Amino acid sequence: MRTLLTGLGAIALFALCGLSPSSAASLRVAPTTVDMIAPDSAAVLNLRNEANRPINVQVRVYRWTQEGGIDRLQPTRDVVASPPATQLPAGADYVLRIVRVARRPVQGEESYRVVVDELPDRARQRAGTVSLVVRHSIPVFFRSEDAGAPQVAWSVSRSGATLMLVARNNGAGRLRLSDVRISQGARRIGRRDGLVGYVLGGATMQWPIGSAGSVGGGPAALRAQSHLGPVEATVPVR
């Protein structure tokens, strides 16, 4: 089992080998999330090479779980990418198929990550230069028709000097969280702009949200956005 070290969406990885930054390839992947409802079991990702030279691409699929507040990835054979590797000519578009091949029915919601890597071009390596290599980590979800909605219980806790937002999801479906604000009265004690993360069905996640020294007594007010709409809740401080 491995911890999910990459962030969500595209991540730039720097390696001391190969291309100069100005000649780094630009690999685009769309869509940024795949969501399928059974009996649908196949989808496509559209790849595009926006560089002026060919690039080599590797694709891997992992089962995505969350344990102890940490994202984890495990290799899987239940979902496959076809093809798992290819070369894209300069300016070319390419269609990548994602297929759930497991025969068992989907129960609730299954979560995966499709990791698309641009591989360094070793033929173009130059000593002492920096290569900008792109990685895309695409969330892929398979849901049963009767999968329940997320049911998230929120709390705020102190972890040393850090204030943590804790989300415990007792439902079957995931919740995608962004643009978090936490306040006590007129005083804001925590804030995260943009995407904060996901809490998967049946999992618990936590994210740093501010300084523990700013917390007073009593509950706090949570306001945020999710893929299902606004989130507003009164949360205990522990």
Q: What is the pLDDT along the chain (238 residues), one digit of tens a residue?
A: 455 544 433 333 333 233 333 344 489 999 999 999 999 999 999 999 999 999 999 999 999 999 989 999 999 999 999 999 999 999 999 999 999 999 999 999 999 999 999 988 776 666 555 565 789 999 999 999 999 999 999 999 999 999 999 999 999 999 999 999 999 999 999 999 999 999 999 999 999 999 988 888 889 999 999 999 999 999 999 8
Last residue of a domain, one of 143, 167, 182: 143
Last residue of a domain, one of 110, 143, 176: 143
Last residue of a domain, one of 119, 143, 167: 143
Are 93 and 157 part of one and the same domain?
A: no
Q: Does any domain span residue 15?
A: no
Q: Does any domain span residue 111?
A: yes
Q: Looking at residue 176, which CATH number applies to its domain?
A: 2.60.40
Are 128 and 176 part of one and the same domain?
A: no
Residues 146, 61: Cα–Cα separation, whole Å: 25
Under 8 Å between Cβ of 130 and 14 = yes
Identify residue 43 by its one-letter amino acid code: A
Are 163 and 135 part of one and the same domain?
A: no
Q: Are strands 70-75 and 2-3 parallel, antiparallel or unpaired?
A: antiparallel
Are 40 and 133 part of one and the same domain?
A: yes
Q: Does any domain span residue 1?
A: no
Residues 6+ apart with CB under 8 A from 48: 27, 28, 29, 30, 88, 92, 93, 94
Are 72 and 139 part of one and the same domain?
A: yes
Q: Could you tell me the residue range of the domain that residue 221 belongs to?
A: 152-236
Q: Does any domain span residue 8?
A: no
Are 31 and 138 part of one and the same domain?
A: yes
Q: What is the pTM of this model?
A: 0.85
Are 135 and 31 part of one and the same domain?
A: yes
Q: Does any domain span residue 177?
A: yes
Q: What is the number of structural domains in the chain? A: 2
Are 105 and 175 part of one and the same domain?
A: no
